[in-house]
Amino acid sequence: MMSANRPALSVVAPCYNEQDALPEFLHRVGSVLEMVGGTSEIVLVDDGSRDRTWKVMTEAAARDPRVVAVRLMRNHGHQLALTAGLTVCRGERILIIDADLQDPPELLPEMIALMEKGADVVYGQRRQRDGESLFKRVTAAAFYRLIGRMTDVEIPFDAGDFRLITRRVLDLLTAMPERHRFVRGMVAWIGGEQVPLLYDRKARVAGESKYPVSKMVRFAADAVTAFSVVPLMASMTIGWVMALIGFAFFVYSIVGWAIGHTLPGWTSLMAAVGLLGGMQFLMLGIIGAYLGRLYDQSKGRPLFMIRDIVGGPK
């Protein structure tokens, strides 16, 4: 049931160094909201930007009462900045979108039409990805298929955070206390009726990607450790395999000694030690990744820290 003091729709966009893209983003989103009609708000989250992003946001909030500008105390990363915006927004339906306009806001009417038919979540599913390198397209495709095989949750292929969700889904999402967040996976875990909308992803309107290889690797690690224990189970399997290899070396040595053969010494020994030692360190690293995330979670610190909120209801 819609609350009287809630807007019908919130648009939530995390931003990091998006001073050049924001004016066009606000123009296109504003045009779509006027087309859709009803009450609405645009929640922009400045994730510790180093350019004029915050100034552009506050100027937009002064001009347009629908704009709510949120500034975090420091850079927390895309997923936590998005979580901050989702916590602040008040709409009955929430559109999650990035400010770079790779995901077109003009798809909102189609998303609303699908939600009117009973969907809890309408997510954008990419047919093609313009303006991205072959490396990024290949690694993204491999990631979605890997996470799909490693988890019991059905996470849609080729779908980012671009989606329209209901307030009920949002309340369940914000109640989850995970610190290392993988929002698209968390929404998939909630369940309900989740419907895809196919579209072609465009190149950025301005600026450069905020996801270099290092951040992509960290994001993938967060996704895997948040939704799968397969790496931990794999460590057990590899441990058994290494134990069998070690036992085979033991049997080989005993049999060679019994029949009087001269056994190769240093080379085979170093190969065995190197193999076993390398696998042990690899497995310790996997276990350490899970323990590190448990340690972060156990401290109970806030997920994000808000410095300023400008605009919105008085």
CB-based contact 42:11 (threshold 8 Å): yes
pLDDT value at residue 5: 80
Nearest partner of 93 among 78, 80, 109, 70, judged by Cα: 109
pLDDT value at residue 70: 97
Residue 160 to residue 197: CA distance in whole angstroms: 12
Residue 267 to residue 273: CA distance in whole angstroms: 10
pLDDT value at residue 3: 58
pLDDT value at residue 1: 45
- Give average pLDDT by consecutive 10-residue segment, the chain, 314 residues: 76 95 95 95 96 95 95 93 96 96 94 96 86 70 71 80 96 90 89 93 68 67 69 69 69 69 60 68 75 75 87 72
pLDDT value at residue 246: 66
